[in-house]
Structures are given as C-alpha cells and as structure tokens.
Structure 1
Amino acid sequence: MTTTETRSSRAPLSPDASPPRTPPVAARPVPLRRVYRFELTKLVSQWRTRIMLIACCVGPGLFVAVVSQQTTLPTDTVFGRWLLATGWAGALVVLGFCCSWVLPLATSLVAGDVFAAEDRLGTWRHLLMAVRSPRRVFVAKSLASLTVIVAVLAALGLSATVGGLLAVGNHPLVGLDGHALGTGDAARTVLLAWLSVLAPTLAFAGVGLLGSVVLGRSPMGLLVPALLAVVLGLVEVLPLPEALRLALPTNTLLAWRGLFTAPAQTGPLLISVAVSLTWAVAATLLAYAVFVRRDFTDLAYDGAGRRALGVALPLVGLVAATAGVIAVATPATGTGVTQDKLEGSLATSFAHLYQLQSAELHRPGYTVSQLGAGADCDKGGSLVEDEGPGNDWRCVVTWHVPGSQTQATAVYQLDVTADGRYVADGDGPQEVNGYFVVHTPTGDAPNPLWQLDGIVDLLKPSSKG
C-alpha cells in the first residue's frame, strides 16, 4: 500500500473538532520545611535579630564577670548576695533580670513583628502566591519565631553560666532555705530553673503572634508582649489571692525560686507552667483563627483593630476560669503569706546558715536537730493581723546552744513581698547576726546570718485555722 493510500484511508477530521486538552493539574503548596527554612532565614537576616543574638551570647557573661569583681553586690536581687561565693549565683541573677525585661522584649521583637512586617512591606500577595497555603505560612512563621526565641533563651542561660563559672568558680550554692547545694545539684537545679521559664516565654510569644496578626502594620502589635509583661508585673506586686496569682502566665517567672528549697516547692511551679502553656496554645490558636479568615486581596487592610477587644476577651476569660479551677483544686486561700509559714521558713534558714557560719568561723559543727531552732513572728504589733506581705514583720529566732541548757535568741526585721519572698535583716545580737566580715575559702564575705533571703510556699496549707 502506498503512502497516498494510507493517508486517504484515514477518517477526515470534523471542522468542529478540537485537539484533546490536558486535564489541569492542581497547584500543590510548597512543603512546610521549605517555607520554615525560608522564614527562618528572613528572621536571622534582619540586623536587629543578629544584634539581639550577639548581645545574648556576650552580654550576660560579661555582666556577671564585671559585677562579681565589685565590692557592692545587687543584694536586692535573689542570689545577688552570693555572687562572690559561687558562679552558679550569676546565672540566677541574670535569670531574674531576664524574666523581668529581656524575655518579654525578645518576644516583642521576634513574634510581635513576624506578621506585621509583611503588611508594612506589602508582600503578602507574593508570599501566598509562592507558598499557596495560608495555613503553612502561619505555621512556618510561628515555628521560625519559636526557633529564634528558644535560641535567645539558650544563649542567655549559657552565657551567664559560663561567665559566672569562669569568673568565680564552681562552688556550692546556698539555697533559699539556707541549705547548701553541691556543684552537681546546683548545676541540675539551675538548668531546670532556666527550662521552666520557657513556658511563660512561649506564652508571651503566643501573645506576640496574636498582636502581630490582629494589629497589622500598626507598631502597637510590636509592643503587646512587653506591655503585657509590664502590666502583669505591676499586678504581681499587689497582695492578690493566691489562686488568682497562679492563674497569671507571669507567675512562672517567679515560681522557679521554689526549686532552691529542700524539699523543693514544686506545686506552684507546676501549676504556673501548665497555665503558661495554656496561654501559649490559646493565644496561638486565636492568632491562627484571625489569620486564616483574613482577606488578603484587600490592599487597604490595616489590621483587625476593631476586633482586638473581642480577641482579648477569651484570654481574660481564661484567667477567670483558671483561677476558679485552682481555687477549687488546691488549698490556696488568701495571699498565702501567714505567720506560721514565715516562722517555719525563717527557723529552717537560720539553722542551715548557722551551720555555715560555724564552719566559716571554724567552730564545732552541729546538726539542725541539735540546734532546734524556732521562730516567733509578729506583724505590725498586736493591732495588726499576722498575715500578708509587708515590711513590718518582726521575728525572734530561738535555738539551743549545744553543750549547755541555755537558749539563745536573735532578732530579725523582715520585708515580705506578695510573691512569698522575704529578706530578713539581722537586728542583734551583734556577734550572731550583726555585720562583720568572715574569711572564707573563696574570699572575704559578710556574716551569712546578717541578711538572708527566704521564700514561703504559698500553696502550703496553714497550720493555723
């Protein structure tokens, strides 16, 4: 058969026929790991993020090294009076400062601006066309912010610890009940304290994401975590009911101190960590709900500021619901600062520090049971109820002098804060709790019984009533 015959044998095409069409292929979203890597690169490439990370790596260690060489120590800070005695105290001093200022500011700079930056630059359409999934954009940005924030926290803790150990040395740490923590126990407890503040940091990060999504390009979104930290910090100073105090996400920034007593006061810490994580999840879910409902085709979008109050109400309701659950499930009543708790805490601290003083003065050592220390505290005289924070507490400590039948006494003036921390200032006799210098293996130090820090367990049931 010829070629001409072959062609003529084929059926002619209809004039209305069209060539077959290839079925359309749905565009697939970009894998999450690629979007996450892209968002993390954008965050790290910002000059303020790099400066913040460098400052966190260098600043704490340099601060501890410089302060530990001074004669005047930050005694108003927890563990500040032990900066010259052990390097572990430096890590805890930095932790206390970071809980008040650094961590809220870090979350503001990172999570508080991660969505608002796209609004200011007008790059939402390009980003969504490239990724093709608003949900993956939200998850990637949230994970990238979390990565940077965790890196900031790790850099702060590592720098402060290394700086303290290099400047002062790896020596035992005196806890908030006067007992000595060996170097191994001190290392584990300090690490656990730094890990515990990750929970409230995540809560601030969640609030930062929410502010960045709701307020859009407004600079107020950048300040939401920092403003929340300032407001709640002022609230924490007030003599709140303990159930309400534990319902605030910032309480974990103070509850880590309970780890440095024997036994550790883990109850308030565990409750505070759970509350902080609940806040982190709730704020992030609210931010997600607002983000996925946004109209990205509106070029004049300037945030959902009108709905800001409606978005904040669930968080307020969360505080109320959490406080109710804590009040029912725990023995928390009133402020938690009572006479019997102060007496027990002060007597225990005095007995432990009396042992430390005896060792530093090369006197015979005695056990806590041999000393049999006790305390009798009064607040503001007979006309004031012996309960609640204040700087008008006066306590008389008594103990048995080993080897004799006599009982010695020492007077302390106490300043008790609303979070259960107190500073006891020795008021005589001079040879017991007055100011004098003691020669120790790490250098000259003030009499350990002169001024002492302590903490009471606010959740512990009171033995009175």
Structure 2
Amino acid sequence: MSATTASATTESQPVTAPDPERAGTARVTRPAGLGSSVRFELFKLLAQWRVRIVLAACWIAPAGFIAAASGQSSLPSDTVFGRWMFATGWAASLVVLSFACTWALPLLTSLVAGDVFAAEDRLGTWRHLLMAVRSPRRIFVAKALASTAVIVAMEVGLAVSSIGGGLAVMGNRDLVGLDGQLIDTSQSARLVLLAWACTVVASLAFAAVGLLGSVALGRSPMGLLVPAVLAFVLQAVQLLPLPAVVRLALPSQGFLAWRGLFSDPSQTGPLVVGLVVSSAWALVATAAAYLLFVRRDFTDVAYDGSGRRSVVLGVLPVATLAAVSVAVVAVATPASGSGIDRAKIESSLAASFAHLYRLQSRELHRPDVTEEQLRTSASCYRGGSPGDDEGAGNDWRCAVSWHIPGATAVGTALYQLDVAPEGRYVADGDGPKEVNGYFQVRTPSGDAPNPLWQIDSLVDLSSGSTSSSTSKG
C-alpha cells in the first residue's frame, strides 16, 4: 500500500473523542477515606450472622432473664446483689453486670475483635482491601474502630436491657448497698450507669488483646480464643492467695472494682487502679498489634501469622506492662500482703451490721436509731489459723456487739464469714434466732426477708489496715 493510500485511509477514519465522563472518573479516583473504611468494616461485621445474633441477644436476653428469675422462689444469693434482686430493679441490673463480667464480656470481645484481621487472611481478601484503601495504617484504624463500636453497642444493649427489664419487673425502689446502707433511686441510677460505663474500659483492654491475637496468629482461628483464654487464666489466678498489689494490677480488676461504688464510703481506690490498668493494657496491646500489622508482607499469599519473632515482639510489651503495673501499684497504694486483715473485716462488718440493723428496725416498726447510738463493734478471728488473722478463707468467726438506747444490756450476734481473695465476703448469721438466726422475720404485715441473716460486703484491698472496729455514723 502506497503512502498516499495509507494517508487517505487514515483520514477517512473518524477520530473518536475521549469520553469526558470516563476521563473525569479516572482523575477523581482516590483511596477510600477513613470514614468510608469504618462504615465498610462495620457493614462486614454486622453482615456476619453470629455477630447479629449475639448483638440481638445482648439487647433482649437480660430483660428475659430478669423476667424469668422473678417467677422463681430462690434467689441467686451467691452473686453480688443477688439477695436483693427481687427488692429493686437496680439490683437486678447489677446481678446481670456481675454475670457479664465473669464470662459474657470477654467472650464478646473474642467474637468481634479476635477475628477481625484473621478473617481477611482466611478469605484471601487483603489485596482487594489494599487496592481500595491503599493504606495499611488506615485499614488497621478502621478495623479497630469498627470492632470497638460493635463491642460498645453490645455492652450498651446489656445495660439498657437489664436496667429496663429490672425496673419493669422489680420496680424502681431504693437499693441496699454493699455496706447495708440504703441508696435512693436517683443515686442508684447514677451508680448503676457508672458501673456499666467502668466495665467498658476493661472490655476494651480485652478487645485490644483480641486485636493483637488476630494480627499475630494470621489465618488461624486461635485469635478468637485469646481474650477468652486470658479471662479464664486471670479468673484462675484471682483464686490464688496473691499479694494485693498483684491482684490490683491485673487487667481483670476493672471487672471487679465497680463493686466499690456501692460501699459507704465508696471504695474508689481499686476502681481508679482498675481503670488506669485497663487503659494501659488497651493502649499497649493496640500499639503492638498496629506495629505487627504495618510490618507484615501483604504480597505473601501463604502468610500464616507473624512468625515466632514477631509474636514475641507482640507479647513482650504486654508482659513488661504487667510487671510495671505491679511496681506502680505497689508504690501508689498502701496495700500490703493480701489486703485482707482482721481490722478491716471488723470495721466493715460492724458498719454493715449497723446499717442493716436500722433496716430491720424499720421492717419491725421499731423506733429508729442512729449508728452513733448503736455504737456497733465487731471482734473477729480465724478459726483454722490461730494468731494469723488475715487473708481469705471460710474460717472467719465474728461476734458483733451493739447498744440499744435506753437499755443497759449489750446485744451480741454471731457470724461465720467466707472471705474471697478479691475482698468480698459473705457473713452468715449464727444466732440469736430473733436477730440473725433465720432468713425471715415476722413483721406486723407478715413474714419478710431478714436483712441481718446474711451480710454481703466488701473490704478495700488498696487501703492500709483500719485501726478501729467501731462503726462510724
């Protein structure tokens, strides 16, 4: 073909103009922003049936449990506030909170945070996600924020359902605190909401550990078990006779310290320590997970975890944090030994007895007396450990004495105490029968629960020894 022919052929072909719409699309194509990435990660989490089912259960199950428990004749007296569950809806919510702190919250964090990175490895979707977002850092932040939002939504559901169900079924009445004092409804509402909010911080610490496990273990589903295994180990450790400073420095302390809000005066020391330790664990575990994630090779399709060295680098900061937490708590608090001694138990039991004696007097329509008038005191010892009256055990024996205004005789009541290592104790009445020897008292309007039959209270592990066993008004 001659040059003239080729030129004519070329000129005869129409020239296609570039598509302005397509060109504009190419120019504005940008990586997905953080907001879009978070929404996408939320959509992926909520698209999982297991997450949907658990989320729905968190908003429904507590109210259903309270409604079912209201039809039972027995009380969950082995649980904190279980003895008062039928008395007020606020106590019912705290019973649910106590159960949730034992198993539910660690399992929820495992379900959500423990698999948020490993799922991408199993499905092989990292390259698609990187092409859309183009930033491993943004991917990590989006996944962390999305999993945190879902966990918080689950815990809010537990709180709303338990409070709403408790108030609807049990009613809005005053709450009996852990020292036997009556807490009015408005103060009860504030304290219950604060207790649920404080456990969110502890939940985020376990969620951060779940993120770390999910990043470090790759496609393995073992990341799901890391927060649950940690919770199981810490619960087993809590049963051991640990020094108080070690016990307070555990990340699970946040799941127990909320109880101090309901004592008089409030035991804020363990609560503050628990919040600080949980926050530190959340920050350190999240930072370790972030460093492992941004250093990984996303081009390796056979990636199966961060390797032994990276796992060690992820675990080492957490182990160092645990050691530093113990050292800081030892310096910052006056706690010594187990944190449980005779003086603390005597002071706590005397104060609790005085408060509950006044409650019993109201039930029996007796003249009201004050704590100053009662001048309650307690004398305690350990039956199985003579001369070693400290530490946890079920061999504590106490005699409580009080003065009745206008009478010369001094009243005396006996109690057998079971003191748990975390400072909670249950005192079972051992007579006289008309005071604390029977679970009911006969009132002018019929039989009613005896407030003095069983006392559920708490000693402050973070404080020093109490010098006086006389109750304060």
Normalising by the smaller structure, the TM-score range is over 0.9
Q: Say whether 1:388 aligns with 2:391.
A: yes
Where does residue 316 of structure 2 map in the other structure?
313
Q: 1:95-154 deviations in whole A, cap 9, x for unaligned?
A: 000001111111001000100110010000011011111110000000000000000000
Distance 2:442 2:148 in 1: 47
Q: Give, in whole Å, the separation in 1 of the partners of 2:315 and 2:307.
A: 11
Aligned to 2:103: 101
- Amino acid corresponding to residue 113 of structure 1 in structure 2: D
User: Could you tell me which amino acid in structure 2 is paired with residue 358 of structure 1?
Assistant: S
Q: What is the correspondence of 1:188-203 to structure 2 with a 5 Å cutoff?
A: 188-203=190-205
Aligned to 2:346, which of 338, 343, 366?
343
| Deviation (angstroms), 1:68 | 2.2
Give the RMSD, CA atoms, in angstroms: 1.9
Instruction: Report what 2:48 is aligned to.
Output: 46
Deviation of 1:28 (Å)? 4.3
| Contact 1:393 1:413 (C-alpha < 8 Å) held by counterparts | yes
More divergent stretch after superposition (322-331 vs 72-81): 322-331
Distance 2:404 2:158 in 1: 45
Count of aligned pairs between the two proteins = 443
Q: Encode CA deviations 1:16-68: one digit per residue, 9 max, x unaligned.
A: xxxxxx9x989743210011111111111111111011111110011011112
Q: Secondary structure at the match of 1:395?
A: strand
Q: How does 1:108-119 map to 2 (within 5 A)?
A: 108-119=110-121
Instruction: Give distance in 2, aligned partners of 1:236 and 1:442.
Output: 44
Match 2:274 to one of 245, 256, 272:
272
Amino acid at match of 2:179: D
After the TM superposition, which residues 279-298 of structure 1 pair with which residues of structure 2 at under 5 Å, given as runs? Answer: 279-298=281-300
- Counterparts of 1:204-243 in structure 2, within 5 Å, are 204-243=206-245
Inter-partner Cα distance in structure 1 for 2:195 and 2:319: 27
Q: Which residue of 1 aligns with 2:57?
A: 55
Query: Is 1:372 aligned to residue 375 of structure 2?
Result: yes
Give the conservation status (yes or no) of the 8 Å contact 2:434–2:441: no
TM-score for both structures, normalised by structure 1: 0.92
Hey, what's the Cα distance between the residues in 2 that align with 1:384 and 1:439? 40
Letter in 2 for 1:323: V
Q: Which consecutive residues of structure 1, in runs of 5 or more, have no partner in the other structure?
A: 1-21
CA contact (8 A) 1:435 1:446 kept: no
Q: CA deviation at 1:443?
A: 8.8
AA aligned opposite 1:337:
I
Q: Deviations over 1:431-455 (max 9, x none)?
A: 1001142478999542110011000
Q: In structure 1, how many angstroms separate the alpha carbons of the residues matched to 2:172 and 2:368? A: 24
Cα distance per residue 1:314-362 (max 9 Å; x no partner): 2111111111111112101111001000000000000000000010011
CA distance in 2, matches of 1:219, 1:204: 17
Correspondence for 2:425? 422
**Which amino acid is the alignment partner of residue 256 of structure 1?**
W
Task: Pick the aligned partner of 2:414 from 404, 411, 414.
Answer: 411
User: Residue 323 of structure 1 corresponds to which residue in structure 2?
Assistant: 326
Aligned twin of 1:258:
260
Of stretches 235-244 and 70-79 in structure 1, the one that deviates more from structure 2 is 235-244
Which residue of 144, 149, 154 corresponds with 1:147?
149
Residues in 2 aligned to 1:29 and 1:47: alpha-carbon distance in whole angstroms: 29
Give, in whole Å, the separation in 2 of the partners of 1:145 and 1:417: 34
Partner of 2:14: none
Go from structure 1 to structure 2 and tell me whether the alpha carbon gap of 1:392 and 1:122 turns closer, same or farther (over 3 Å shift): same
Q: 2:82 aligns to what?
A: 80
Q: Which amino acid in structure 2 is aligned with residue 375 of structure 1?
A: A
Question: SS where residue 397 of structure 1 aligns?
Answer: strand
Name the structure 2 match of 1:8.
none
Task: Tell me the TM-score normalised to structure 2 length.
Answer: 0.91
Q: 1:74 & 1:59 partners in 2: Cα distance?
A: 17
Q: What is the CA deviation profile of residues 249-294 of structure 1, one whole-angstrom value per residue up to 9, with x for unaligned ones?
A: 1011111000001110001101110100000000000000000000
Query: Partner residue of 2:178?
Result: 176
Correspondence for 2:456 among 450, 453, 456 = 453
* SS in structure 2 at match of 1:430: coil
Identity over aligned pairs, percent? 62
2:19 is matched with: none
